[in-house]
C-alpha cells in the first residue's frame, strides 16, 4: 500500500499549526514541513517585543519543540521550494532536489516591504521579519546610540518600545499625520503618541524620508523638507507583502494573496493555503481580505488540515490582534472599517487603560482595548454574535 504524502511549504505559524492539526485530524500519511529559516518554527510576534529587548531566547519562542515533531512523525526539511509542478505533483528545491506531494499546503507568509529610497541599502539599515533580522539589529544596537524607525505602525512602535528598553535614543518617522493611522481612531493614535513621548521617543508625523546617507554605513536620515536626523541604525517597518510568486508561477489564482475559499482550498483542489499569504472572502465583511495575524494563520491552518483530511471546517472566526508596548497590552477585536461612531470608556488622554469601541449604525463592529482584557472578551463575543448593545453597556466603569 502506498502512503500519501502531505507537504507543507513554509514552517511558521500557519505551517506548524497545519502539520499538528493534520495529526489531530488523523491524517496517517507522511507529513513534510519545509521551511527556509534554519530554525524550529518559532513565535514571530515576540521578535519586536521580548526578543528584541533581550528578554527571551529563540528556544523559548519555539511554537513546539523538536521532540514534538519527531513524536508526531512530522519531517522538518530545511530548504527553499523554487517551483511547483502541479501536473506531476513535484516540488523543486533550490538545491535541485525534488519532493513529491499528494496534498500540498502553501503557508508562505509575507515579507517586509522594502523602502524605495536612496541609501536604503546602506549597512545599518534593517528590516524586522525574522529572528535572524533581530539578531543583527541587537548586535548593531550594542554600539549604537541613535535609532531611527521608519513607520509608525504596530511593528515600528513595538520596536521603539524595545529599543528604549535597550537605552537607545529613538525617533519614529511616520509619513501620515498620525501613528497607527491605517488601523485605529485618532483617539487611539493620540494615546500611543503620548505614551511613546512620555517614554522619551521622538515621534515625527508627516515625515517623508527622502534619503538615507552615510560614508560606509548609515549616518543620517534626510527628510523631504531637508532636515537631517542622526542615525546609527535605521529600522524600516512600512508593512509587508505576501509571498505569492511561487503560487502565481504555478498558475494558482492570486489576488492580493493566494485566493482561498472558506475551506482554505486554492483554485487547485489538491492545494490548500493558510496564513499571511492568503486572501479570502469574509462573509461577515462582504469582501476579500488578507489578514496578517497569528490567530488568523492558526484558524486557516486548522481548516486547511481538515480539508486535506476529508473533513469539512470553515473559516469563520472574528479577526483579532494584539500589540505589546511598554507595560501596555492592546487587544483588538474585529475590523473597524466603515465605522461611523466611536465610544470611549476611560480617558486615553490621561489613563493607561481604556477601550475604544467602533460602531456602525449603532452596532458594535470592533474594539481597541488597552489593558482591559474584559472589555476585549466582551467585545469579541458581542461582535461575533452580533448582539445589540446599549451605549451604557460600553462606557460602564470596568471591573478589570
Ligand atoms: C515583528 C513582528 C511582530 C508581529 N506581532 C504580531 C502580533 O503581536 N500579533 C499578531 O497576531 N501578529 C503579529 N505579527 C504577524 C504574524 O507574525 C504573522 O501574521 C504570522 O507570522 C503569519 O504566519 P504565517 O505562517 O502565515 O507566515 P510567516 O510567519 O511569514 O511564515 C512563512 C514562512 O514560510 C517561509 N517560506 C516562504 N516561502 C518559502 C519557500 N518557497 N520555501 C520554503 N519556505 C518558504 C518563510 O521564510 C517563513 O518562514 C507580527 C509580525 C512581525 C514580523
Q: Mutation test of ligand 1: which of 45, 129, 160 has the most ligand atoms closer than 8 Å to its C-beta?
A: 45
The whole-number average pLDDT for the span 278-303 is: 95
**Is 307 a pocket residue for ligand 1 (Cβ < 6 Å)?**
no
| Residue 51 pLDDT exceeds 70 | yes
In the chain, the percentage of residues whose pLDDT exceeds 90 is 94
Q: Which of 7, 44, 27, 20 is nearest to 276 (CA)?
A: 44
Q: What percent of the chain has pLDDT over 70?
A: 98
Q: How much is the pLDDT for 398?
A: 52
More confident residue, 51 or 284: 51
Same fold, 5-111+240-308 and 114-236: yes
Whether 325 and 300 have beta carbons less than 8 Å apart is answered as no
For 9-70, give the secondary structure using H, E and C.
ECCCHHHHHHHHHHHHCCCCCEEEEEECCCCCCECCHHHHCCCCCCCCCCHHHECCCHHHHH
Distances (CA, A) of 309 to 12, 68, 154, 167: 21, 20, 36, 50
For residue 277, the ligand 1 atom closest to its alpha carbon is 26
Whether 44 lines ligand 1, by a CB cut-off of 6 Å, is: yes
Q: What is the pLDDT of residues 57-84, one digit of tens each?
A: 999 999 999 999 999 999 999 999 999 9
Query: Residue 391: its pLDDT value, please?
Result: 87
92 C-beta closer than 6 A to ligand 1: no
Q: Given pLDDT bands bounded at 50, 70 and 90, which one contains residue 1?
A: low
Q: How far is CA 167 from the centre of its chain?
A: 26
pLDDT at 184 over 60: yes
Residue 137's pLDDT is what? Answer: 98
Q: How far is the CA of 44 from the centre of ligand 1 (A)?
A: 6
321: Cβ below 6 Å to ligand 1? Answer: yes
The residues facing 170 across adjacent strands are 147
Phi/psi for 364 (5° steps) reads: -70, 125
Cβ–Cβ under 8 Å, residues 303 and 339: no
How many whole angstroms from 110 Cα to the centroid of ligand 1?
6
Between the CA of 276 and the centroid of ligand 1 the distance, in Å, is 7
Instruction: Give the orientation angle of helix 13-24 with respect to helix 294-308, to 10 degrees.
Output: 40
Residue nearest to atom 35 of ligand 1 (CA): 10
- Residue 43 CB less than 6 A away from ligand 1: no
Which CATH code, of 3.30.830.10, 3.30.110.30, 3.20.20.210, 3.50.50.60, is assigned to 5-111+240-308?
3.50.50.60
**Burial degree of 103 (CB within 10 A; 0-12, 13-18, 19+):** buried
* Cβ of 299 below 6 Å from ligand 1: no
The whole-number pLDDT of residue 2 equals 75
Among protein residues, the one whose CA lies closest to atom 33 of ligand 1: 10
- Regarding the beta carbon of 323 and ligand 1, being less than 6 Å apart is answered yes
**Is 175 within 8 Å of 207 (Cβ atoms)?**
yes
CATH of domain 114-236: 3.50.50.60
This prediction has a pTM of 0.96
Strands 341-345 and 354-360, by their bridges, are antiparallel
Place of cell 487587544: 331
Give the number of other Cβ atoms within 10 Å of residue 70's Cβ.
Answer: 11
Q: Residue 125 and residue 233: Cα distance in Å, rounded? A: 6
Atom 27 (ligand 1): residue with closest C-alpha? 109
Q: Check if CATH label 3.30.390.30 holds for domain 327-394.
A: yes
Residue 14 is placed in which grid cell? 500557519
CA 32 to each of CA 16, 95, 245: distance values in angstroms, whole numbers, following the listed order: 11, 17, 21
Asked if residue 302 has its Cβ within 6 Å of ligand 1, the reply is no
With CA atoms as reference, report the closest residue to 176 among 212, 151, 201, 211: 151
Q: Is the CB of 331 under 6 A from ligand 1?
A: no
Decide whether any atom of ligand 1 lies within 6 Å of the 266 Cβ. no
Q: Could you tell me the distance, in angstroms and rounded to a whole number, from the CA of residue 171 to the centre of ligand 1?
A: 26
Atom of ligand 1 minimally distant from the CA of 159: 1
Give the 3-state secondary structure of residue 105.
Answer: strand
Residues 219 and 235: beta-carbon distance below 8 Å: no
More confident residue, 270 or 105: 105
Identify the H or E element spanning 301: helix 294-308
Would you say how long the chain is, in residues? Answer: 400
Domain ranges of the chain: 5-111+240-308, 114-236, 327-394
Residue 180, pLDDT above cutoff 60: yes
Q: Indicate the pLDDT class of residue 3, thresholds 50, 70 and 90.
A: confident
Q: Which of the four pLDDT bands, split at 50, 70 and 90, describes residue 259?
A: very high
pLDDT surpassing 60 at residue 132: yes
Amino acid at each position: 500500500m502506498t502512503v500519501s504524502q502531505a507537504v507543507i511549504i513554509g514552517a511558521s505559524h500557519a505551517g506548524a499549526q497545519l502539520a499538528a492539526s493534520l495529526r489531530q485530524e488523523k491524517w496517517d500519511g507522511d507529513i513534510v514541513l519545509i521551511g527556509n529559516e534554519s530554525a524550529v518554527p518559532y513565535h514571530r510576534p515576540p521578535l519586536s517585543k521580548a526578543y528584541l529587548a533581550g528578554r527571551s531566547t529563540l528556544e523559548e519562542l519555539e511554537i513546539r519543540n523538536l521532540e514534538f515533531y519527531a513524536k508526531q512523525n512530522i519531517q522538518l526539511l530545511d530548504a527553499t521550494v523554487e517551483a511547483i509542478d502541479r501536473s506531476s505533483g513535484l516540488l523543486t528545491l533550490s538545491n535541485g532536489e525534488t519532493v513529491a506531494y499528494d496534498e500540498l499546503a502553501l503557508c508562505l507568509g509575507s515579507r517586509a516591504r522594502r523602502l524605495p529610497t536612496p541609501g536604503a541599502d546602506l549597512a545599518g539599515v534593517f528590516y524586522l521579519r525574522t529572528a535572524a533580522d533581530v539578531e543583527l539589529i541587537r548586535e548593531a544596537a550594542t554600539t549604537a546610540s541613535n535609532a531611527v524607525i521608519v513607520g509608525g505602525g504596530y511593528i515600528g512602535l513595538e520596536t521603539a518600545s524595545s529599543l528604549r528598553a535597550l537605552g537607545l535614543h529613538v525617533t519614529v518617522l511616520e509619513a501620515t499625520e498620525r501613528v497607527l493611522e491605517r488601523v485605529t481612531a485618532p483617539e487611539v493614535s493620540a494615546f500611543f503618541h503620548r505614551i511613546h513621548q512620555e517614554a522619551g521617543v521622538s515621534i515625527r508625523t508627516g515625515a517623508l524620508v527622502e534619503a538615507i546617507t552615510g560614508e560606509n554605513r548609515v549616518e543620517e536620515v534626510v527628510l523631504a523638507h531637508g532636515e537631517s536626523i542622526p542615525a546609527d541604525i535605521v529600522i524600516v517597518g512600512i508593512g509587508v507583502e505576501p509571498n505569492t510568486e511561487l503560487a502565481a508561477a504555478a498558475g494558482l489564482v492570486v489576488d492580493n494573496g493566494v485566493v482561498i475559499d472558506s475551506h482554505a482550498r486554492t483554485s487547485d483542489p489538491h492545494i490548500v493555503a493558510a496564513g499571511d499569504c492568503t486572501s479570502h472572502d469574509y462573509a461577515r465583511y462582504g469582501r476579500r481580505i488578507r489578514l496578517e495575524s497569528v490567530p488568523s494563520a492558526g484558524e486557516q491552518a486548522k481548516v486547511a488540515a481538515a480539508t486535506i483530511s476529508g473533513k469539512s471546517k470553515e473559516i469563520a472566526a472574528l479577526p483579532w490582534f494584539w500589540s505589546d508596548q511598554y507595560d501596555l497590552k492592546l487587544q483588538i477585536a474585529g475590523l473597524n472599517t466603515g465605522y461611523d461612531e466611536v465610544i470611549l470608556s476611560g480617558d486615553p488622554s490621561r489613563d493607561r487603560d481604556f477601550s475604544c469601541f467602533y460602531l456602525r449604525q449603532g452596532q458594535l463592529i470592533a474594539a481597541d482595548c488597552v489593558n482591559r482584557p474584559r472589555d476585549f472578551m466582551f467585545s469579541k463575543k458581542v461582535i461575533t454574535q452580533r448582539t445589540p448593545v446599549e451605549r451604557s453597556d460600553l462606557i460602564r466603569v470596568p471591573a478589570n
